[in-house]
């Protein structure tokens, strides 16, 4: 027997062994999944994802925090103080006193 025959025999043995591991049948559900997934393009809105660079994400978070802070602040909190003119109300019972 030539050394090459040994190698071939070994390879044939290996091939025989490899055949002992059988892959399962393709599940029937795959067809439904594949054909359904390509029809609903808007599914991306539910399951899709996008990559956002970290600096952009940080800016967006900062903007959101600022917007939230602005919306939660009581109105006029930062307005300059001013003396509002009050209408004169006469409380005296004497006619012509005011």
CA distance from start to end of the chain: 134
Q: How far is the CB of 78 from another protein (least distance, A)?
A: 48
Interface positions, 23-82, toward another protein (CB under 8 A): 23-24, 26-27, 29-31, 33-35, 37-38
Among residues 21 and 69, whose Cβ is nearest to another protein? Answer: 21
Contact 89, 97 (CB under 8 A): no
Distance CA 53, CA 26 (A): 38
d(CA 75, CA 54): 34
Query: Which CB, 38 or 70, lies closer to another protein?
Result: 38
Name the residues that contact another protein, by CB under 8 A. 10-11, 13-18, 20-24, 26-27, 29-31, 33-35, 37-38
């Amino acid at each position: 027997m030539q050394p090459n025959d040994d190698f071939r025999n070994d390879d044939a043995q290996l091939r025989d062994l490899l055949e002992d591991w059988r892959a399962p049948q393709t599940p029937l559900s795959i067809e439904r999944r594949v054909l359904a997934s390509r029809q609903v393009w808007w599914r991306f809105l539910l399951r899709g994802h996008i990559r956002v660079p970290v600096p952009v994400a940080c800016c967006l978070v900062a903007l959101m925090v600022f917007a939230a802070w602005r919306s939660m602040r009581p109105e006029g909190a930062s307005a300059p103080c001013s003396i509002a003119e009050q209408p004169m109300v006469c409380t005296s019972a004497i006619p012509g006193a005011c």
